[in-house]
């Protein structure tokens, strides 16, 4: 093969690879935990100065008033709050089966209570 033919072949390959359609990036997985977080945050953001968001979680005969959402991953939620006896209570649940009752209530407390959110750390692998 002559040097000119080799150069021509390399140039054609370079043009083909530069103009070839790029493979689409794989779609990002849908995270129900992120959707849940966004909904509760939106409700809290819409509150007036004299209102707070009351979030309740019911399980096993226990009712928890949620003060914090911790997501170790987008598939699992750890809800921290207070139970009926005012003790610190945590509930760990898969996000798919999580059912919450959210209600806006007036409060005289200043400042009104706000729910804390802790999201998963981005993965670097």
The CA radius of gyration of the chain, in Å to the nearest whole number, is: 26
- 104 CB-contact burial (10 Å; exposed 0-12 / middle 13-18 / buried 19+): middle
| Residuewise pLDDT in 10s, the chain (125 residues) | 566 677 778 778 878 777 777 777 767 777 899 999 999 999 999 999 999 999 999 988 899 999 999 999 999 999 999 998 999 999 999 999 999 999 999 998 888 999 999 998 876 65
- SS3 assignment, position 96: helix
Cis amide leading into 111 (omega within 30): yes
* Kind plus residue range of the DSSP H or E element containing 7: helix 3-19
Q: Is the dihedral of CA 89, 115, 119, 73 positive or negative?
A: positive
Evaluate if pTM is beyond 0.75: no
Whole-number pLDDT of residue 18: 73
Q: Write the DSSP symbol of residue 110.
A: S
């Amino acid at each position: 093969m002559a040097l000119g033919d080799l150069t021509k072949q390399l140039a054609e390959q370079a043009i083909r690879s530069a103009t070839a359609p790029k493979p689409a990036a794989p779609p990002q997985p849908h995270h129900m935990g992120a959707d849940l977080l966004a909904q509760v945050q939106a409700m809290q953001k819409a509150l007036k100065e004299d209102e707070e968001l009351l979030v309740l979680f019911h399980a096993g005969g226990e009712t928890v008033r949620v003060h914090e959402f911790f997501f170790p991953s987008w598939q699992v939620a750890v809800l921290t709050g207070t139970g009926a006896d005012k003790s610190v209570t945590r509930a760990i649940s898969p996000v798919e089966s999580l059912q919450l009752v959210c209600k806006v209530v007036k409060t005289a407390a200043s400042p009104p209570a706000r729910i804390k959110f802790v999201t998963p750390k981005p993965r670097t692998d």
